[in-house]
Amino acid sequence: MIAFRLGLFLVLVVLGAAAVSLVWVPQDVGAMAIANKLKPPTLAHPMGTDHFGRDVLSMIMVGARTSIAVALVAVGIGMGVGVPLGLAAAANRGGWLDEIIMRGNDLVFAFPSLVIAILITATFGPSAVNAILAIGIFNIPVFARVTRGAALSLWTRDWVMAARVAGKGRVRISVEHILPNVANLLIVQGTIQFSLGILAEAGLSYVGLGAQPPTPSWGRMLAESQTMISFAPHLAIFPGLAILFTVLGLNLLGDGLRDALDPRLRRSR
Amino acid sequence: MLRYILKRSLSLLVSLLIASVVIFAAVEVVPGDPASYMLGMNAQPDTLAALRDELGLNGSLIQRYLGWVGGMLQGDFGVSYTYRTPVAGMVADRLAVSLPLAIYALALSTAIAFPAGIWAAARRGRLGDTMVMGATQLGVAVPNFWFAMLMVLVFAIGLRWFPAGGFAGWDKGLWAGLHSLTLPAIALALPQAAILTRVMRSALIDALSEDYIRTARAKGLTRGQALRRHALRNALIPVLTIIGMQFSFLLAGAIIIENVFYLPGLGRLIFQAISARDLIVVESVVMILVFGVIVVNFAVDLAYAAVDPRLRARE
């Protein structure tokens, strides 16, 4: 429970910082003040300034928006496509549709995700939108598999049989009865994929394939700090901590939700 | 069993076929003509046409696809547009860095995860367990390239124990090679070790709740003896599955870490090839990686079926 609360706290801090940055930041992230460059943390700049004299705290606050937006939309893509596929596969268990969907899943899993993400961003040009696409595609099989797995066991329940006797078709049963019962699992999986998305976005922007300048992003802040790490380590430390705490918060939140929503899982943990 | 092997082999071939079509199609839509990349802006049209012909870029889509797949089946992965050397040789050179790096990282992660997972499972719910689980939470949340940068700051720039980047080469000796791969291997191993520790722990805890453990305890074995002699073996199956998955991930997934340390590995080769529009290198290397993953999965499936007859029946 402590872990869950800590996770919730961390996530709320990051969400709060991102929300506040929409209306207020300590210093405009576009404003450069070369005279003020590479200052270590002070009261005026709690996380120091970068090589253009920009306030690191402000950049991290605005960067949170990029990370959250990319990861959230990527989860949306994964759920939006993966869940219907998983429901369809379970409703047609053992049929050709099930076979095609599951083999397609295996195929996507066989591709090295990072390589494909790099290929996609290199093909269509580096941008936040293409990073979303690259991360989202690999969320699809994850949600399809989780949904199918959970739905398969639900299809054997008596209340599904009752719904069939009442004359409901597979689609209606999937939407009206199966989906609400797998929603818990999907929320938990969504939290996990969200945190993986934050890490993936950071990695892609680190190699220059995520959000492009002047949009601040945590990964690119780390990439830019690399050559200055020996004399301005604060440039590398704070964006990294931002990623670490966000991912940690989401993971703790996900674990806590899983325990709360499915007490049976507590046994093995 | 034979029926199962045949069925799985057929599905393996279909997967490889679809993968090759997908990779070929994906690379085909990459904008930019490799010939004009190689010759620059001021190239004469006839020189361009001649080069396109030489690179085999003039045939129809199907001709080029068949040429590519046919070549690979004979071990010919094409010739790099930018380096003008056979792709097979380049891949072999890069594997000399990537393969040892992946093995090194996997060895480190296993060496950390086994004792940590066993220790935590044996102390389930107590302080030691909580500490190990807390550490794994941090391990999976740390971006490994950031951890790599911090290690460079401390161990390369500060203490000067390791180089900040680059690869010494195996011709300087095994020690020099391993020395330059140590920081990258640790950075890669950290999140993997955290995941593996959790899998090891929960597999052990599941195994410890089985009836045969109660029987073993009733026979007079201590908790530790029952864990080592009976639970550990049964917990290894999920752990080995994860190790297999991690190996293929480490081989292809080191791109970012290779970038942090300027290592001439397979990942950096793909990255450079994509930027230089060296499409034949991209196609072939991605295909080799996907082939590796699909074949490893196939082998794992067969091994399971051989061990566990229930899996054969389920198909």
Rounded to an integer, what distance in angstroms lies between the CA atom of residue B213 and that of residue B47?
75
ipTM of the complex: 0.88
Q: Do the domain assignments include residue B160?
A: yes
Q: Which of A115, A240, A268 sits opposite B270 (nearest CB)?
A: A115
**Ranges under pLDDT 70 in chain A:** 122, 262-269
Q: Does residue A265 belong to the interface with chain B, where contact is any CB pair within 8 Å?
A: no
Q: Do the domain assignments include residue B240?
A: yes
- Which residues, other chains included, contact A234 with Cβ-Cβ below 8 Å and sequence gap of 6+? A40, A41, A47, A48, A56
pLDDT per residue over B94-124, tens digit each? Answer: 989 988 999 999 999 999 999 999 999 988 8
pLDDT per residue over A65-118, tens digit each? Answer: 999 999 999 999 999 999 999 999 999 988 899 988 988 888 887 777 777 777
Nearest-Cα distance to chain A for B147, in Å, is 8
Q: Do the domain assignments include residue B218?
A: yes
Q: Cα B257 to chain center, whole Å? A: 13
Contact B289 A115 (CB under 8 A): yes
Q: Do the domain assignments include residue B60?
A: no
Q: Which domains does chain A have, with CATH numbers?
A: 48-268 (1.10.3720.10)
Rounded to an integer, what distance in angstroms lies between the CA atom of residue B159 and that of residue B148?
15
- pLDDT confidence bin for B310, thresholds 50/70/90: low
Suggest the residue from B146, B205, B248 to mutate for an interface test with chain A (most A CBs closer than 10 A): B146
- Using a CB-CB cut-off of 8 Å, the residues of chain A touching B146 are 202, 222, 236, 239-240, 243-244
Contact A112 B293 (CB under 8 A): yes
Phi, psi at residue B264, to the nearest 5°? -80, 65
| pLDDT for position A269 | 43
Question: Which one, of B280, B274, B273, lies nearest residue B54 by Cα?
Answer: B280
Q: Do the domain assignments include residue B301?
A: yes
- Kindly report the pTM of this predicted structure: 0.86
| pLDDT for position A267 | 46
- Which residues, other chains included, contact A159 with Cβ-Cβ below 8 Å and sequence gap of 6+? A177
Q: Do the domain assignments include residue B294?
A: yes
Give B148 or B52, the one with higher predicted confidence.
B148
Range of the domain at B137: 96-314
- Using a CB-CB cut-off of 8 Å, the residues of chain A touching B263 are none
Q: Kindly report the CATH number assigned to the domain that includes residue B169.
A: 1.10.3720.10
Q: Do the domain assignments include residue B63?
A: no
pLDDT per residue over B270-284, tens digit each? Answer: 888 877 778 888 888
The pLDDT of B29-44, averaged and rounded, is 73
| pLDDT for position B223 | 82
Give me the number of domains chain B comprises.
1
Q: Do the domain assignments include residue B79?
A: no
